[in-house]
Structure 1
């Protein structure tokens, strides 16, 4: 049953990541705003879920399935590397530092909000 919940969450998270990236790609030039946005949103939601805490089934559906498919470390890494290879070192560094600091901040805020409930 848990595997089905993970798959169901992923079936929603992955297309949402793709659609978000497509919607934001044209607005940000070479800055990977789509990946940045989904990683921050996923960090916020996962922090919130951990702060509640949620039952294991809901954690599998929303945490592992949805957040796992919505967020993407591999795409983040590839986009940062591509920026470096294209000579956009400052943009790459900005992307990496912003992703880490804002992502960790979002997870912390989500956790605080979840813990407060």
Structure 2
């Protein structure tokens, strides 16, 4: 009886540990904001590791040349911004938010000019 109870405790503990590792890898290992995204790309070991950050089907939008430039010791980001576009029928707004914070804080809201709005609509 004692052995069965001990085995049950050990199995339960192992299941909790495995679940904890899986949950951590699914939810906490992905970048949550632009600062974490920059760090994930800049510190990636190779292009394939950085490609894993892409949403499936959008891999062609991030090229090796872009990765090499971001990783280059000669190119250091001057700033890291986090922006969101709100597109309506006749207007589009760009909302600049705080990078690297747990909750988004608005830094600026600007209406986009028509030519830039059209660029993002394509």
Q: TM-score, normalized by length of structure 1?
A: 0.22
Higher RCO (C-alpha 8 Å, min separation 6): 1
Q: TM-score, normalized by length of structure 2?
A: 0.22
Could you say which structure has the larger radius of gyration?
A: 2
Q: Counting strand residues as a fraction of each chain, which structure ranks higher? A: 2
Q: Counting helix residues as a fraction of each chain, which structure ranks higher? A: 1
